[in-house]
Structure formats: C-alpha cells, structure tokens
Structure 1
Amino acid sequence: MKKRSAHKEHSQMDEKLSKWNLFWHFPIIWMIAGTIGIILVDALIRPLVEQAPGLVSLLLTLTLGFLAIMVYMLIMKYLARRSIPELSRKGAGVEAVMGALTGLIFIALSTIIIVLLGGYTFQWANDADTVTVLIVSIEAALGAAIVEELIFRGLVFQAINKLLGTWTGLAVTSLFFGIAHLGNTGSTLWSAFALSLEAGLLLGAAYLWRRNLWFVMGLHFSWNALEGLLGIPVSGHSSAGLFIVKVHGPSLLTGGDFGLEGSVVPVIISLLISIPMLYGAIRNRNLPPNFT
C-alpha cells in the first residue's frame, strides 16, 4: 500500500511539474516574461545613463545592451527551449555594419528628398559641442535599437510566428510598433500608421531577409543616430544635434513635431526597400520553419 501511495504521489508531482513546464513553454508566457525582464533592465540602467557624463553614459549603455541580450538568451534557452541563431556570433559584426549602412542610406535619402522638396533647411549649430552630440546620439540610438529589437523582432515576432505564422507575426509587430509610439510628442494616428510601415514593416522584412537581429539592430541604430546628429526629432524625441533644422510646408511632407518618421517620403522609400527584402526572404526560403 505504501509503495502504491508513494507511486501515486510521485505521478501527481510529475503531472504538476509537466503542467508547470507547459505553462512556461507557452509562447505568450515566455514572450511576456522576456519583455518584462528587458524592460526592467532598461528601467534600472537608463536613469544612470541619463545622469552619467560623457563616455561613462556610453559604457553604461553598452552594459544595458549586454544585460538585455543576456535576458533574451536565457528566456529563449530555458523557457522557450529553442536555439538562438538570430544572435549567433558568427558574422555578427558584418551583419551589424550592413544593417547600419542600410539605415544610413534610408535616412540620408529621405532627408535629401525632403530638402529638395523644400521641407527642411539646415544650419550648422555653432554652439554645439560636437563630441557631446556624438556621444548622446550614439548612446540614445544604441540603447533603443537593442532593447526595441530584442522585444519586437525577437520576443514578440518569435512568439506570434510560433502560434499564428510569419505573416501574422509581421503584421502584429508592425502595427504594435506604431501603436507603442502614440504617446510621443507630435504623434498622430497618421504618424503611428507611417511608423508601422516604415519601421515595423522595414525592420521586420530586414529580419526575415537576414534571419538575424544584428542586421536589424544596426539598421535601427544608424537610423536613429543619423536623425539625432542632424537635429531631427526621433519619433517625437528632440535633442540638440550638429545642425538646426528649420521646417517648412505641410506635416505630411516634413513629419511636423514628430520628425522624419511622420513624413510620407520615408514611408514610400521604406516600402521600396521592404518589398525586395521580403521577396528575397521568400525566394531564398529564408523564412522561419513554421512559415504559414
């Protein structure tokens, strides 16, 4: 009787552990757990970054990025129980540089077109501290690129893709990326929609094309960094740049207080970049295994 009772208790314990494991392995659960973990890391270190001087703030940002990546990898390894090829160290530097060059071309071309259409004029900021502006722009862009890409193209996309397929994952992350910026200065329904296309779709397409987060982080980083250096508001966040930007004409052209992302120009250019990326991903069969 004692043996039967012990065996029954052991079976019940195994069943409870099995249910508990299934709970943590469910995509929405590890997505939420990972997102909370990364946000907590950001919330703890970001205030220190903002208070620290010069290069110290940049070092703290690198620490923030490292810890956020560690949280992501631990969640994927122990909760999602999957490999992490999207953060493979092989070719990481090359992918990051390629992504950065893509972002530079995208923002530079968008800005030049708006200037030619009479939307922007630039004047060198004589009182700008070049070193300080560089550090602040790099630090802000780097932190945002790592944290946001780990959450959106990493956790959220992987979870939605696992449950509902690639196209649904791409659509959900794109829309949510725009919605997440609705509270920013100068934000409107149009700017949220525009950001969903030019950022959500472009970054999602870039991930599907290259199948790694380094490329996407590089693209996101150079995008924000160049805007900051030019003195253009980054999704409503203004900071001192190397230039003083004077805005002329309708907000549909200039983006208004929201900045470049609220303009129709980068929306069109991003689509011209995103569509070939998606085509390349499909043609090369470079889509996630559970593509539907």
Structure 2
Amino acid sequence: MKKKVSENKESMQNGGKLSIRSSFWRFPIVWMLVGAIGIVLIDTLFRQQTERVDGVISLALTLVMGLLAILVYKLTLTYLARRSTPEIARQRAGIEAVLGALTGTIFIAGSVFIIVALGGYSFQWASSASVGSVLTSSIGAALAAAIVEELIFRGLMFQAIDRLGGKPLALAVTSLFFGIAHLGNTGATLWSGFAIALQAGVLLGAAFLWRRNLWFAMGLHFSWNAIEELLGIPVSGHSSAGLFTVEVNGATLLTGGDFGLEGSIVPVVISLLISIPMLIGAARKTRE
C-alpha cells in the first residue's frame, strides 16, 4: 500500500514537472525567441555561402534557406506553441504572394513617380551593369529579406504579442521594433527609423491582418525591395547595384538622402493611405 502511494506521489511530481516544462515552452515570448534564433542562424549560415557564389547558384541557395526558415517556423509553432499554422498554408500561397507583389509594385512605383515628378530623382541607364547579374542578386537579396523578416516580425513576434495583449498592441510593438531594427543601417536617423516603423511596420502588419497569411506580406515585402534594388535606389541604407544610376536632388525629406526611399515622406503618406483600408477590411473580417 505504501509502495503504491509512493508511486502515485512520484507520478504526480513527474507530471507536475512536465506540466511546468510544457507551460514554459508554450509561453509566447519563449517560442518567439526560439523560433527567431533558429531562423536567424539559418539565414546567417546561408548568407555566408551565397556571398561566395554568384548567379543562379546564389539564388538557389537563397530558396533553400527560405524553405528551411519556413520549416523552422512551422516546427516552432507546432511543437512549442502547440498551434496550427494556417498563415503559411500552401493553399492559395502562390496567388497571395503575387497579389502582395503587385501591391508592393504599385506602392513603390507610385512613390518613385511622385518623387521624380517633384524633381527629387532622375535615372540614367547604367551601361556597365550586367542585366543577368543585377537581376539574380536583386531577386536573391529581396527574397531573403522578405522571408526572414516576415517570419520573424509578422509571423513570430506579431502572433506572440497578439496572444499576450491583442492585435492593436501586436501591430504597435512589431512596427516599433521593425523601425528600431533598421537604426543601425547606413545613413539611418531617428526620422528614418520612425518612417520605417510607419510605412513598413504598419503596412506589412496591416497586410498580414487583412489577408490572414504571410504569403501576401512576403510578396509585398519582396517586390518593395526588389524594385528599389533594380532601380539602383539604396534599400534602407544598403547600396544597390541596379540597372540605373540615380541622381538625387532636393531636400532629404523628399528623397530620403543616403538612406534611400524609406527615408522619404512620400512613401510614408502613401503607405498609410494603403494601410487604413487594409485595417478596416481586417476589422470587418474579425466581426464576421
């Protein structure tokens, strides 16, 4: 009898330890950090390899990196957060990514057009540029940034904060941290960090809420960066070896200066005009 009671006590103690351990890993901040670290490690490892090769091989490595990063994301949420991942479901992934890319293209093309019309940018074809090399490098860099940053910010961080304090807080926190994450870039200022938080953090967060998947946000993010790269405009302070050379004239508030388009007031205004309808649409879906 005493042996049975002892066994029951030991079983209860072991069960309690397992419960505490399970609760620890299921706490949103914990799985957010674990997933983010895993994705960053994969990105760092593959970035070192892609820098050593060029062309199609570099692009292929980027695609493998993206698939592994998505796998880490899925495993983190499935086995630590103990939840499903409809936001990366394969159903409609292609069409959502294309719709996102079209939205990003309209956003960036419209912003650039306005700045050109106001005399801030002028473009000349870079005759020395290798079209194939520029295309593969631009697509690879834009694809890597879109996948990694969206998985971490709109995937892990947004949903972790959402669990703790709701969607408005998640949108505010992820936008703030997205701006902070770009403060170390070349030419960054407090204004550029604030501008990134508004135009990128809010827009991409609104896109995620509206479409309820990461593919749309990834597509938007990808076309945003890729078009800037191809036009030769610095991407958040990172220089671009584009198909054009850009002559910048006028106030930094208009052109973004050395930081590039993201430092301009123009995309900030346009992004908010796009974000507001998205947030309204997301709110309507929530009420349905």
Shorter-normalised TM-score: what interval? over 0.9
Partner of 2:190: 189
Question: TM-score under structure 2 normalisation?
Answer: 0.98
Q: CA deviation at 1:50?
A: 1.2
What is the aligned partner in structure 2 of residue 212 from structure 1?
A: 213
2:65 match: secondary structure: helix
Mapped partners of 1:194, 1:259: distance in 2: 12
Q: Which of structure 1's runs of 4+ aligned residues deviate more than 2 A?
A: 284-287
Is 1:259 aligned with 2:260? yes
Q: Which amino acid aligns with 2:81?
A: A
- The RMSD of aligned alpha carbons is 0.9
Q: In structure 2, how many angstroms separate the alpha carbons of the residues matched to 1:129 and 1:100?
A: 24
Matched, 1:59 2:60: yes
> 1:236 corresponds to which letter in structure 2?
G
Specify the SS of the correspondent of 1:123.
strand
Matched, 1:242 2:243: yes
- Which one-letter code corresponds to 1:68 in the other structure? A
- Pairing 1:5-44 to 2, within 5 Å after superposition: 5-44=6-45
**Structure 1: which 5+ residue stretches go unaligned?**
288-292
Q: Distance in 2 between matches of 1:131 and 1:272?
A: 35
Match of 1:122, SS?
strand
Give, in whole Å, the separation in 2 of the partners of 1:283 and 1:240: 42
Residues 46-66 of structure 1: CA deviation (Å, up to 9, x unaligned): 110111121000000000000
The count of corresponding residues between Structure 1 and Structure 2 is 287
- 1:126 paired to 2:127: yes
Deviations 1:69-125 (A, max 9, x none): 000000000001111110011111000000000000000000000000010010000
Q: Which residue of 1 aligns with 2:92?
A: 91
Contact 1:123 1:244 in 2 (8 A): yes
Corresponding position of 1:81? 82
How many angstroms apart in 1 are the aligned matches of 2:76 and 2:165?
Answer: 20
Is structure 2 residue 266 aligned with structure 1 residue 270? no
Paired amino acid for 1:89: R
Q: Is the 8 A contact 1:211 1:286 kept in 2?
A: no
Query: In 2, are the aligned partners of 1:235 and 1:259 still within 8 Å (CA)?
Result: yes
Report the CA distance between 1:138 and its aligned residue: 0.0
Instruction: Name structure 2 gaps, 5 residues minimum.
Output: none
- Asked whether the equivalents of residues 95 and 214 of structure 1 are also in contact (C-alpha less than 8 Å), the reply is yes
SS at match of 1:133: helix
Q: Name the CA distance, whole Å, in 2 between partners of 1:282 and 1:13.
A: 44
1:45 aligns with 2:46: yes
